[in-house]
Amino acid sequence: MTTATAQAFPNIAFIKYWGNRDAHFRIPSNASISMNLGGLETRTQVTFDPALKNDQLTLNGKPQSGKSLERVSAVLDLVRQMAALQRFARVESNNNFPTGVGIASSASAFAALSLAASAAAGLALSEAELSRLARRGSGSACRSVPGGFVEWQAGEDDLTSYAFSIASPGHWDLSDCIAIVSQAPKPTGSTEGHALAASSPLQAARLADTPRRLDFCRRAILDRDFEAFAEVVEQDCHLMHAVMITSTPPLLYWQPATLAVMQAVMDWRKNGLPVCYTIDAGPNVHVLCPTASAAQVISGLTLITGVEKVLAARPGGPTHLV
Q: What is the pLDDT at residue 107? A: 95
Handedness of CA 188, 192, 194, 200 (dihedral sign): negative
Average pLDDT of the chain is 96
Question: Does position 261 have pLDDT exceeding 90, yes or no?
Answer: yes
**Average pLDDT for 49-58:** 98
Q: Choose among 100, 110, 115: nearest CA to 72.
A: 110
Q: 118-149 pLDDT, tens per residue?
A: 999 999 999 999 999 999 999 999 999 999 99
pLDDT band for position 99 (cuts 50, 70, 90): confident
Task: Please answer whether residues 91 and 72 qualify as being in contact, where contact means their C-beta atoms are separated by less than 8 angstroms.
Answer: yes
Determine the 3-state secondary structure of 273 from DSSP. coil
In whole angstroms, what is the distance from residue 308 CA to residue 50 CA? 45
pLDDT band for position 191 (cuts 50, 70, 90): confident
Phi-psi region of 314 (alpha: psi -120 to 50; beta: other; left: phi over 0): beta
CATH class of 2-169: alpha beta
**Average pLDDT for 198-206:** 98
Question: Running DSSP on this structure, what letter comes out for residue 107?
Answer: H
Q: 239-259 pLDDT, tens per residue?
A: 999 999 999 999 999 999 999
Name the segment(s) of the chain with CATH classification 3.30.70.890. Answer: 171-315
Name the segment(s) of the chain with CATH classification 3.30.230.10. Answer: 2-169
Question: Does position 101 have pLDDT exceeding 80, yes or no?
Answer: no
Question: Does position 103 have pLDDT exceeding 90, yes or no?
Answer: no
**Average pLDDT for 145-173:** 98
In whole angstroms, what is the distance from residue 105 CA to residue 282 CA? 12
Q: Which CATH number fits domain 171-315: 3.40.50.10440, 3.30.70.890, 3.40.50.720, 2.60.120.10?
A: 3.30.70.890
Cβ-based neighbours of 77, under 8 Å, separated by 6 or more: none
pLDDT band for position 97 (cuts 50, 70, 90): confident
The overall pTM is greater than 0.75: yes
Question: Does position 102 have pLDDT exceeding 90, yes or no?
Answer: no
Amino acid at 210: T
